[in-house]
């Protein structure tokens, strides 16, 4: 769905922000982009949605070179939620804001209304439909921006720190939405500083440092590479740190850790049996975990 080949970018007469970046993202995959502030993560998203043009190399979205089409065309398949959602609002009501995109697709009034109603319902914004987006709190603003992206039924969703400042309830709503999009075949690429969120939600992790892509692999592989992680100025999720210090099987998040802990206490073979896999699936925390398979 998304391919970057030898991608490089520099803002006018400055050092390159990104250099020699190559990766691909398939449909139905959740890909996290991690790295320190200034590592080039947000710039990468702007290259993927066509708002920036690569200095070197190229970005292909569904096989189309972003240099060959206007960003407005790419917006039909690429939805973006920026880190500061208030910067992307220009309508006086939430419903108007969300309906702007589908109106540009040539849909009739009924189709637009149907899509907007659905997007507002999924993001929990029905009661704010007539409110000015700038009168909402930051979390609700992020959901308005997300609704504006989802209403276009994108095939690629780019999210920049969308979980920032959200409480556990809002994070659960977000995680449900993202897993629904993934199940529907959407490729989701999200920039995130919260390694616990990354551990719970990503299939793949792109680790950036100083404009270089240091690693592109599963969360377990990337977060287990302690030297690489340290060089990039990041820390592994707390449960992985804990499992390592306790000498347990590596665990990325709490329910994963408890299964490792049970193995450790019982001294059983660490190879997971079917019944144990089933047990891991049903282990549920009432508020902070999401259901489903570990990565």
Partner 1 sequence: MALIEVRDLEFHEHGREVLSGISLSIEEGQRVAILGGNHSGKTALARWLAGWLPAHSTVARSGSVTFQGQAWSELPLAERASAVQLVGQVPFQQLSGREFTVRDEIAFGPGNLALDPREIHRRVEHVMTLCGLDSLADRDPYTLSAGEQQMVVIANALAMNPRVLVLDEPTASLDPQSAECVWRVLSGLSTCTTIVLFDVSPRAAVRMAHRFLFLREGRFIADGSAEDVLLHPLAISSLGLPPTAEAAWLAKQEQVWALGVGTPFTVDGAVTAFREVERARR
Tokens describing residue 253: 């998040």
Is 265 a binding residue for partner 1 by CB under 8 A? The answer is yes
**Smallest Cα–Cα separation from 71: which of 113, 104, 32, 119?**
104
Is 85 a binding residue for partner 1 by CB under 8 A? The answer is no
Indicate which single residue of 185, 235, 277, 278 sits in contact with partner 1 (rule: CB under 8 A). Answer: 235
Is 133 a binding residue for partner 1 by CB under 8 A? The answer is no
Is 272 a binding residue for partner 1 by CB under 8 A? The answer is no
Indicate which single residue of 5, 96, 238, 276 sits in contact with partner 1 (rule: CB under 8 A). Answer: 238
Task: Kindly give, in sequence order, each residue whose CB lies less than 8 Å from that of residue 88, ignoring residues fewer than 6 positions away.
Answer: 81, 82, 145, 148
Indicate which single residue of 72, 109, 127, 137 sits in contact with partner 1 (rule: CB under 8 A). Answer: 137
Identify each DSSP E strand in 52-170 by its residue range.
56-61, 64-65, 78-81, 156-160
Is 270 a binding residue for partner 1 by CB under 8 A? The answer is no
Provide, rounded to whole angstroms, the least separation between the CB of residue 283 and partner 1: 6
**Rounded Cα gap, residues 205 and 218, in angstroms:** 6
The smaller minimum CB distance to partner 1, of residues 36 and 272, is found at 36
**Rounded Cα gap, residues 117 and 147, in angstroms:** 10
Provide, rounded to whole angstroms, the least separation between the CB of residue 133 and partner 1: 15
Is 77 a binding residue for partner 1 by CB under 8 A? The answer is no
Is 195 a binding residue for partner 1 by CB under 8 A? The answer is yes
* H-assigned helices in 127-214: 138-150, 168-183, 195-201
Phi, psi of 5 (to 5 degrees): -125, 120
Q: Give residues 197-226 in contact with partner 1 (rule: CB under 8 A).
A: none
70: left (phi over 0), alpha (psi -120 to 50) or beta: beta
Provide, rounded to whole angstroms, the least separation between the CB of residue 87 and partner 1: 12
**Rounded Cα gap, residues 110 and 120, in angstroms:** 15
Q: Which residues of the chain form contacts with partner 1 (CB under 8 A)?
A: 35-39, 83, 135, 137, 139-140, 161, 164-171, 193, 195-196, 233-235, 237-239, 241-242, 245-246, 253-255, 257-258, 261-262, 265, 283, 285-289
């Amino acid at each position: 769905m998304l391919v970057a080949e030898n991608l490089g970018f520099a803002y006018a007469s400055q050092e390159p922000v990104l250099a020699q970046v190559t990766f691909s993202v398939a449909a139905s995959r959740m890909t996290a982009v991690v790295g320190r502030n200034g590592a080039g993560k947000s710039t990468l998203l702007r290259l993927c949605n066509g708002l920036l043009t690569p200095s070197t190399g190229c970005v292909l979205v569904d096989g189309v070179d972003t240099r060959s089409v206007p960003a407005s065309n790419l917006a039909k398949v690429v939805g973006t939620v920026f880190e500061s959602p208030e910067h992307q609002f220009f309508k006086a009501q939430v419903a108007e804001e969300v309906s702007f995109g589908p109106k540009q697709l040539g849909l009739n009034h009924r189709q637009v209304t149907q899509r907007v109603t659905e997007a507002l319902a999924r993001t929990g914004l029905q009661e704010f439909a007539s409110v000015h987006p700038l009168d909402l709190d930051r979390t609700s603003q992020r959901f308005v921006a997300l609704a504006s992206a989802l209403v276009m039924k994108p095939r690629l969703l780019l999210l920049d720190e969308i979980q920032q400042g959200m409480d556990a309830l809002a994070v659960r709503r977000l995680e449900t939405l993202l897993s629904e999009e993934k199940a529907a075949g959407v490729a989701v690429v999200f920039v995130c500083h919260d390694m616990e969120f990354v551990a719970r939600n990503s299939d793949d992790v792109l680790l950036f440092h100083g404009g270089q892509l240091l690693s592109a692999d599963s969360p377990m592989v990337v977060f287990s590479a302690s030297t690489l992680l340290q060089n990039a100025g990041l820390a592994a999720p707390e449960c992985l740190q804990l499992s390592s210090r306790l000498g347990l099987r590596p665990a990325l998040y709490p329910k994963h850790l408890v299964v490792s802990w049970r193995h450790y206490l019982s001294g059983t073979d660490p190879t997971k049996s079917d019944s144990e896999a089933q047990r891991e699936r049903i282990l549920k925390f009432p508020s902070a975990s999401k259901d489903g398979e570990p990565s």
